[in-house]
Amino acid sequence: MVTAPSPISAAFRQALSEAWAGGAGALLPVGFFAGAAILVPFGIGSQPDQLSAIGGGILWVALALSSLVTMERIFQSDLEDGALDLWLQADAPLAAIAAAKTFAHWLAAGLPLVLITPLLGLMLQLPPDQLLPAAGAYGVGGIAFFMWGGVGAALTASVRRGGLLIALIALPLYVPTAIFGAMTLEAGAARMPPEALLLAATSLFACGIAPFAMAAALRLAAD
């Protein structure tokens, strides 16, 4: 006997397929991330010492902005095609469904950003021993970025062309993660600097709070 997939797994698979079917998938955020990082030397100069001093911070800013590029379509299609009404009637908590969709979106659009971070860090003259730790830090912080971006996407699910509004909602919530992420890189090659623990704490906080905020916003959008 074949059992129907749970609403959480169904939402996860749906979000993975939508991330590619609705546009360029990972190509758009990766292109934005790479373009923003590559343009910096043209604006401030290509002196290695100067790039090394600000390269980590530039990558964090580029990561934060590129994580918003595809946020608009996470929940909007669910509201338009009636899937949101089905999620509200499902046995699974709406917060878990929203978290699954956002995590799937991070896998499709956020994980590729992490994978190209060492290459862009090398271009911005980051020390070689910081390239892999930087990618790990961006992986942890990127989850927080996508979770808070999901809150903005849920709040603007009923708004057409709400990308700018999502940015206005989410960017202030990105600030602690970006600060602790930049501090983690400045701490150097220490195996587990205190700043890295604070960065992880911001992501854990986002994972604990953002799904419930998304669920509340989606219930309001469905009314």
The total of other beta-carbon atoms located within 10 Å of residue 223's CB is 7
**Mean per-residue pLDDT, 119-133:** 78
Q: What is the pLDDT of residue 21?
A: 62
24 band by pLDDT with thresholds 50, 70 and 90: low
**Mean per-residue pLDDT, 73-94:** 79
Is pLDDT at 147 greater than 90 in this prediction?
yes
Is pLDDT at 23 greater than 70 in this prediction?
no
Least confident of 40-44, 94-98, 101-105, 193-197: 40-44
Q: What is the pLDDT of residue 1?
A: 38
Enumerate the domain spans of the chain. 13-222
212 band by pLDDT with thresholds 50, 70 and 90: very high
In the predicted model, what is the mean pLDDT of the chain?
Answer: 81
Q: Do 207 and 149 touch, CB atoms closer than 8 A? A: no
Is pLDDT at 90 greater than 80 in this prediction?
no
4 band by pLDDT with thresholds 50, 70 and 90: very low
What separation in angstroms does the CA of 200 have from each of 17, 192, 207? 29, 11, 11
Is pLDDT at 3 greater than 60 in this prediction?
no
Q: Which helix (H) or strand (E) holds 212?
A: helix 194-222
Is pLDDT at 123 greater than 50 in this prediction?
yes
Q: What is the pLDDT of residue 201?
A: 93
- The pTM of the full predicted model, rounded to 2 decimals, is 0.87
The total of other beta-carbon atoms located within 10 Å of residue 190's CB is 11
Crossing angle of the two packed helices 131-155 and 163-186, in degrees rounded to 10: 160
Q: Do 73 and 151 touch, CB atoms closer than 8 A? A: no
Residue with tokens 């030397």: 41
* Burial track 64-87 (b if 16+ CB lie within 10 A, e otherwise): bbbbbbbbbbbbbbbbeeebbeeb
Amino acid at the residue 221 = A
Tens of pLDDT, residues 160-181: 777 788 888 898 999 999 888 8
Q: Do 200 and 183 touch, CB atoms closer than 8 A? A: no
**Mean per-residue pLDDT, 20-31:** 68
The total of other beta-carbon atoms located within 10 Å of residue 99's CB is 23
* More confident: 137 or 186: 137
Structure tokens at 195: 């700043």
